[in-house]
Structure 1
Amino acid sequence: MNFPSFLHVLRRAGGLCLLGAALALSAASAGAAERIPDPKAAPNDFLEAVANNMLDAVKADPQALRGEPTHIAALVRRYALPYVDMNKTTRLAAGRYWRQASAAQQQSLVQAFTGTLIRTYSGAFTRVTAGTTISVLPFRGDPKADDAVVRTTISQPNSPAIGVDYRLERTDAGWKVYDLNVEGIWLIQNYRNQFAAEIGSNGIDGLIKALNAKQ
């Protein structure tokens, strides 16, 4: 399986998206000052804390900057996944096929898709430099709503700014990210098209096998 459109703009954005966003919670161990995100704060305040932690940590971590897959995967699983609703992301990406899957298939699909996203984003961290900055734009939504979009821009030296929008859902544990838009391409929609094609040809088990084969 190949996802060229989304991966192309993701790499231009330096990998500072979705699963990578909460990676920066390793800032304390990397020697940077950590900002503790509050999932029950306003969505823009929550995401700003997560994003700035990420950027500080990546800048301070030579292994992350080199894009070493095993190292980044461990950091993402430890620090990112608690702030991402991978069950919802996977369910929406699978679309109508999600209801056709057994409970065991659903669990396997979530695990396989999580691994795919971690692998996909790992290689993009080499774009981060000391001059990379993240700006959270003024929040336009209703902070009391249960679904919110937080807009950010990522700036790189000698490159145009990249717009990245995060979609979050309010849960009992607070805000969680479940989708993002990089330069007009929504992650879930991009993967939904690919998932549908794979399932149509090889079934749900075929999709799980294809995702796992890329890890």
Structure 2
Amino acid sequence: MSKTYKRLLSPIISVFIVTLLFASTAFADAKQDAEEALQNAVNEITTTLNNANLDNVTENSVVVSQLEAEILKIFSMEQFSMRTIGRKWNTFTPEQKTKFKDAFIELLKATYFKHVSKYNGQRLDILGSRTNKSGNKVEVRTSVKYKNEDVPVNYRMLREDGKWMVYDVLVEGVSLVKNYRTQFSEILRKGTPDELIAKLQEKAVQVRKQQATAGKK
């Protein structure tokens, strides 16, 4: 190896090492910031649940509206909607995108908020996190105590408008986004965005009717 080559190589290696060090610091900050954002959201939601009377809670209860607002502060429906649709998201008009997000939120409320009354002090523990190669996405690993079992729940997050937001949730390794994408792709393969939106609206109504019927038994 020539002396000239060594002289050129030395500063290149130095720059490379410095770049790696800065990148490592940036990744550490990204993980810390994402974990902190998630923890703050969990604390806020937990406080609301602990202070609420969850007896006979319904979807129209004040606590449910409060929880919805708190969840949407950390959960990006824009990213979630876009990723569940996939490439065809760009074929949706702005109006269809808005209608889809609204219909999707209604379906999620109808499907999941019925479980609010079952809250009994379950806790979520953050176990650590990892970033992608670019450091612009973070997956926060958590564990939720449910029926004496520790259930692994991972939150995939990215920065949106300067804030770390959740764009996917993995429960025991199963992605919520992929689960819905499979269902929506089948509908969009033969149908239109408007037909998908209509099906989401119909499904939300159906779920509510089933819950109402079950509540009378």
- Normalized against structure 2, the TM-score is what? 0.71
Indicate conservation of the 8 Å contact 2:31/2:131, yes or no: no
The one-letter amino acid of 2:131's match is G
Whether 2:191 is the aligned partner of 1:198: answer no
Matched with 2:95 is 104
Taking the TM superposition and a 5 Å limit, the aligned residue runs for 1:124-203 are 124-130=115-121, 132-141=122-131, 145-156=135-146, 158-203=147-192
The counterpart of 1:47, out of the listed 38, 55, 69, is 38
CA distance in 1, matches of 2:173, 2:136: 23
Indicate conservation of the 8 Å contact 2:123/2:145, yes or no: yes
1:56 counterpart (34, 47, 63) = 47
- d(CA) in 2 for partners of 1:175 and 1:69? 27
Corresponding pairs, count:
174
- Whether the 8 Å CA contact 1:133–1:155 is kept in 2: the answer is yes
Question: What 5-or-longer segments of structure 1 have no aligned partner?
Answer: 1-38
**Deviation at 1:83?**
2.1
**Residue pair 2:158, 2:167 contacting (<8 A) in 1 also:** yes
Pairwise CA distance, 1:202: 3.1
Q: Which of 99-108 and 39-48 deviates more?
A: 39-48
Aligned partner letter, 1:164:
V
| Greater per-residue helix proportion | 2
Q: Confirm or deny: 8 A CA contact 1:163 1:183 kept in the other structure.
A: yes
For 1:199, give the aligned amino acid: L
Residues 154 and 162 in structure 1, CA contact (< 8 A), matched pair in contact too = yes
- Bigger Cα Rg: 2
The answer to whether the 8 A contact 1:40-1:174 is kept is no
- Structure 1 pair 185/160, CA: closer, same or farther in 2 (3 Å)? same
Mapped partners of 1:183, 1:99: distance in 2: 31
1:159 positional shift: 2.4
> 2:85 aligns to what?
94
- Aligned equivalents of 1:62 and 1:119: distance in 2? 20
Measure how far apart 1:191 and its partner are: 0.3
What is the alpha-carbon distance in structure 1 between the residues aligned to residue 64 and residue 182 of structure 2? 26
Moved over 3 A (4+): none
- Structure 2: which 5+ residue stretches go unaligned? 1-29, 206-217
Instruction: Look up the SS of the partner of 2:129 in the other structure.
Output: coil
Is this contact kept in 2: 1:154–1:163, CA < 8 A?
yes
CA RMSD of aligned residues (A): 2.5
Q: Distance in 2 between matches of 1:115 and 1:203?
A: 20
Q: 1:85 to 1:56 in 2, by over 3 A?
A: same
Higher relative contact order (CA 8 A, sep 6+): 1
CA contact (8 A) 2:129 2:138 kept: no
SS for the counterpart of 1:106 is helix
String of CA shifts for 1:25-65, please: whole Å, max 9, x gaps.
Answer: xxxxxxxxxxxxxx9961112211211222232132123x6
Shift in CA distance, 168/67, structure 1 to aligned 2, threshold 3 Å: farther
